[in-house]
């Protein structure tokens, strides 16, 4: 059997794997280390998935018109069972991807500390690889926390880290995005 550690080979697992992984990692390491581990695993997985995302393109994915790029991203995730991902226009250098049916989230298990950490890492790894530059991703709403949707903010590392800092200080998301 060949080693497929870095290949584009994919498998299908039940979506419950995310909840099980998060809970087991939290039991073993604590909440913050579990979040970091899931994010790091997601990032590496997203980088590896970029080959499948760009497969079959006659030109660079970055040269696609915006609508074509977002359609490709939506299709990429939907075909793999992740859910529906919808882009929103950028505000102050921060774009958003929103989903009301995201696979990593479990709306039946409300946990105020939960988040789609693997997804945040996966999106950051995929978008960074495709863009050829670091892209940070921060989940600002999560169905597992009781929100109506999962909403991922993305942009340059500096802009997203600034947004995260403002949110940690208790600033409302809309207000944080209106400060320029």
pLDDT digits over 92-146, tens only?
A: 899 999 999 999 998 787 887 778 999 999 999 999 999 999 999 999 999 999 9
In a domain, 108, yes or no: yes
In a domain, 6, yes or no: no
**CA separation for the pair 84, 111 (Å, rounded):** 22
CATH of residue 101's domain is: 3.30.1380.20
In a domain, 155, yes or no: yes
> Which residue range is the domain that position 40 belongs to?
16-178
Give the predicted TM-score (pTM) of the model: 0.92
**CA separation for the pair 73, 85 (Å, rounded):** 8
In a domain, 74, yes or no: yes
**Count of structural domains within the chain:** 1
pLDDT surpasses 60 at 63? yes
Which two structure tokens, joined as six digits, stand for 146?
Answer: 């009781």
Beta bridge partners of 153: 96, 138
In a domain, 142, yes or no: yes
């Amino acid at each position: 059997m060949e080693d497929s550690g870095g290949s584009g080979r994919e498998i299908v697992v039940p979506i419950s794997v995310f909840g099980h992984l998060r809970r087991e990692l939290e039991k073993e390491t604590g909440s913050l280390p579990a979040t970091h581990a899931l994010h790091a695993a997601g990032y590496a997985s997203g980088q590896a998935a970029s080959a499948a995302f760009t497969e079959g393109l006659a030109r660079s994915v970055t040269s696609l018109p915006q609508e074509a790029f977002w359609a490709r991203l939506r299709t990429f995730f939907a075909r793999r069972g992740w859910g529906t991902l919808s882009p929103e226009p950028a505000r102050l250098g921060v774009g958003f991807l929103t989903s009301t049916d995201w696979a990593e989230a479990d709306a039946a298990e409300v946990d105020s500390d939960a988040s789609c950490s693997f997804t945040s890492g996966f999106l950051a790894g995929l978008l960074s690889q495709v863009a050829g530059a670091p892209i940070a991703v921060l989940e600002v709403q999560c169905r597992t926390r009781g929100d109506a949707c999962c909403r991922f903010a993305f942009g340059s590392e500096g802009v997203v880290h600034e947004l995260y800092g403002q949110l940690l200080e208790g600033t409302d998301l809309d207000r944080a995005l209106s400060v320029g």
